[in-house]
Amino acid sequence: MPIEAQSRHCLHPSVSVDWKLCQKVIKAAFAYMIASILCIVPQVQPHLGVVAYLVPLGTIYFHSAMTLGSQLEQIVLNIIMLVPSAIYCGVIGYLCTLYNAARESHPGLYSNGACVIAGISFFLDVAFFAGIRIKYPRFFLASLQAFVVPFFALTRQVLSSQYDISFLFGIIYPLLIGAAIALLVNIVLWPETANKNLEKSISDCLKANSDLLSFLHNDFVARDVDLKLGMQQFANLKQKLRISMDAMARARVGATYEFVLGKYDPTDLETIAKCLRRLSENSLGISTDTTLRIRPGHDVTGEGLRRRRTPSAALYQDEDSHKEEKKLEYAILGKLLLTTSPHVRSLVASCSQVLDTLIVRLADREAIPLRDASSLLERERQILSPQVDLQLNLSKALSEFGKSEKSIIASMESDNISVPIEDHSLVFAVIFAVVEVTKQIKTVAALEQSLEHREHYPGNDGIASATRIMFDSMRDETSENTTEGIENGTVTEGLHQAVGRRWYNKVALNVNEFVGYDYVHYAVKFGAAMTILAIPAWFLIEGLNTWYNNNHGQWALLSGMVVLNFTVGTTILQCFYRVVATVIGAVWGYIALLAVGRHNPYILMVMVCIFAVPFWYIFLGSRHPRIGMMALLTLAVIVNTGYIKTYNETVFEIAYERTLTAVIAIVVVMIINWSLWPMLAREHMRLRMVALFVDAGIYYSQVASLACQPDVNNTRWIATERDALASGKTLRKRADRVAELLAFSTSEPRIARAPFPYAQYQDLLAHTRNVLYWTNNMLSTQRHVSKTLRRELMVPVAGYRKEMAAAVHLYLFTLAGSLSTKTALPASLPRAELARQNLQRKLSGFYRSKARELRQLYDTDTSGMDTKEPYTEIYWQAYAAGSVEVIHEMKIMADTVISLMGQHVFKTAEQDWTTENVTTPT
């Protein structure tokens, strides 16, 4: 047993201790204790500003369990949000004091004018930063600190006629002190850097890719293996790879802020991580779905093909075949897979061997940790020696892999098949995916060879790099949250959507579009809820402002900003967590104050630290972290306020007021959330999925139109490709957004309906992602198709391709219409498969007429597959497979939509009413 495993089981054989989590809990609790002690020590507390308990709150927001890079990122983002909010509140506070001072010399001025100024400014400030946190999700947590400034600065001293700027600074620097304490504790106790996490995630991603390729090498078209079990194993490996990709993406962000801590420059590791992400996407694209098309009874070995009419003859010899859609049987797919299996397995084995070697070489250079070394030792014989050039090794394997194409063409001749059919396209798609994986591994090998130790600190270059990456991600987040459709080249403008010619028409249109954005709705709701909770501070009643501040009215604001979320379901869930956490935190704080009293602050803080440990464990290691976080916030506020005794309150009054303000905040938030643009995650998810369907059809049309142009270097082709690339990126991000909303949908109540069909929508989203993948696969193969094939085969059938693209677009549009209106699908759906088969027939005719000429050109090209533009059928056949798979996925999506919304039944007469007697009812 490894040493680490032995240490975990040293207490009891059945007890497993997560020491990593224990370290994080200890670090976070220790920082929390230090901040709490500073808040109640009499010599220190007066110097911590007007709201001293913001110091322990800072250790919660920037807790020490994060990596150093993540802490630095959150601190930087917090400052970015705090500074403009503080400047704005400072200016407004100064204007209020000027107004109050003017009233002394001008008694006729409105007596409550300063409160009106503060209230309006409060709403604008809070609404602005609430919109920022939704428009740019990176600022979601950092914006909480920006809210704290107006919560205290614009509700206290509003009626004062003398401006005290130290009051404003007394709100800002306690949070920063708490952040500094958490950062110092993280540096001293078991420091964990995001750069190390990036190295670990790169190692995990390499290992996941190697395991996936090893599985394909061992079980590719394995006839003696249970197909269902094999597909389940394959799905588990793909899920493991996706998890490693997500972890690597998170680590990349934090590592950019640690430009002085890593042995290697984070930008170099970031380049490797980006390349690994592309490699992982291609690895996930190696589909074994083709094996599922081999049904029992099919002739897998190909024996007896000559004794019956071949699929190509059955498909192309019928005179009326263009009027009827033929059912695809994939009769020779099994034989083709067996024919290419040795070549594919050989190349996949080389790729897996190179990946294992890369893991060892990067570990030897201390660029990544050697994780799960036992599995590598089992494949130790595969590790290549240091003298072997990995790029040259893969180039030779890729060149040898070119024989797989010739074997398929040879099988066509032996089986008397004159033209390629769908079976060939699907096998070529697998070959293309393996080739792309190999090329990406070559790129990773080149990056590993060029990786060098850092000789100097990057200084300002590193800061500039971190800033660039941060704002690049903000720009990506903006495009991710847009609700508009993708660009579609040239679209004729309809009269219904035409823009008015007057200037005020355009202004009204822009205002209407702005008001329709989701983040604007959330900003108005958030600002309205917070303003209502703070309105007693500005209401025209003598002494109400003092009563509001003496009874901690700001606590309701702190509770409201935590629980008000984007959707109704998450808000309800957060409200429940808030009630539970507030009661738990208030009770524990009440017990601590009763047990120790207000005599010895150090014993009190030891008790608080002991009480806080389980809360930190819930926050960092449970499925409900928000309960732990809110309980910690409540505990800090109760203990600090109860010990300082600012307003001469009893311990019970403090705990009672904290609970009551939380309940009031929840009631106000729920009323506002249901009254103003209630955001149901399931409804919003459904509408976003509708838009995703429509734009996926447009994306497919963009990609299909590229195949209708003879030259890939002309301006129209380049512009269309650029639009298609941007559309694909946008759609993939929007699919991620739909997945987030789908996860939120489970927490929303459905009183009058059956439970939400989460599994069906999840399945629908998964197949939509597959449509996007295969469309992107068609786009990737476009540029590699040789000019000869494009000129002789693809361009002449442009009209048929247009009809197929229109049918695919209409098919997805029909599914989107059913989801949008929540009505049943029609009895028959657009004939996208028939349009594709018509294209295939026309294309086969051109192929048959040009077969000899193309074969001669193919025989003279011996350049192999690793050249810039060899004459090869792989790329255009893989392109053709994309349409087959897209239509296949759409049919599965239609079945899912039918299960969700139903389908109309086309009823025919069951009797011949003209010849049979009909009994008329009396």
Q: Each residue of 205-222: pLDDT tens digit? A: 888 888 888 887 776 544
User: How far apart, in Å, are the Cα atoms of 660 and each of 199, 448, 579, 582?
Assistant: 48, 59, 10, 10
Max mean pLDDT range (214-228, 534-548, 804-818, 895-909): 804-818
Q: Provide DSSP, 635-697.
A: HHHHHHHHHH-TT---HHHHHHHHHHHHHHHHHHHHHHHHHSS---HHHHHHHHHHHHHHHHH
- Give me the chain's average pLDDT, please: 77
pLDDT at 675: 87
* Separation of alpha carbons 97 and 546, rounded Å: 17
In this predicted structure, the answer to whether residue 838 has a pLDDT above a threshold of 80 is yes
CATH topology classification for 194-257+264-298+330-454 = Methane Monooxygenase Hydroxylase; Chain G, domain 1 (1.20.58)
In this predicted structure, the answer to whether residue 477 has a pLDDT above a threshold of 60 is no
* Separation of alpha carbons 741 and 784, rounded Å: 38
* Separation of alpha carbons 551 and 553, rounded Å: 6
Task: Delimit the CATH 1.20.58.220 region(s) of the chain.
Answer: 194-257+264-298+330-454
In this predicted structure, the answer to whether residue 223 has a pLDDT above a threshold of 90 is no
In this predicted structure, the answer to whether residue 318 has a pLDDT above a threshold of 50 is no
In this predicted structure, the answer to whether residue 3 has a pLDDT above a threshold of 50 is no
Determine the average pLDDT of the residues in 729-743.
90
Max mean pLDDT range (198-212, 651-665, 713-727, 891-905): 891-905
pLDDT at 810: 94
Q: Give the sign of the dihedral formed by CA 308, CA 313, CA 319, CA 325.
A: positive
Joined tokens for residue 389 = 């050039």
Thinking of the domain 681-901, which architecture would CATH place it in? Up-down Bundle (1.20)
pLDDT per residue as tens digits for the range 665-688: 999 999 998 888 888 888 889 999
323-327, 541-545, 572-576, 890-894: the lowest-pLDDT one:
323-327
- Closest C-alpha to 571, from 453, 666, 474, 449: 666
Whole-number CA gyration radius for the chain: 33
In this predicted structure, the answer to whether residue 913 has a pLDDT above a threshold of 60 is no
pLDDT at 869: 41
pLDDT per residue as tens digits for the range 434-451: 888 888 888 888 888 877
33-47, 359-373, 652-666, 845-859: the lowest-pLDDT one:
845-859
In this predicted structure, the answer to whether residue 465 has a pLDDT above a threshold of 80 is no
Share of the chain above pLDDT 70, in %: 78
Determine the average pLDDT of the residues in 604-623.
85
pLDDT at 20: 83
pLDDT at 765: 92
> pTM here?
0.80
pLDDT at 890: 93
Q: Is 2 exposed, middle or buried (0-12, 13-18, 19+ CB in 10 A)?
A: exposed
In this predicted structure, the answer to whether residue 311 has a pLDDT above a threshold of 50 is no
pLDDT per residue as tens digits for the range 117-155: 888 999 999 999 999 988 888 888 888 888 888 888 888
pLDDT at 148: 85
pLDDT per residue as tens digits for the range 72-91: 888 888 888 888 998 998 89
Determine the average pLDDT of the residues in 179-186.
91
pLDDT per residue as tens digits for the range 528-546: 999 999 888 887 677 777 7
The distance from CA 631 to its chain's CA centroid, rounded to whole angstroms, is 29
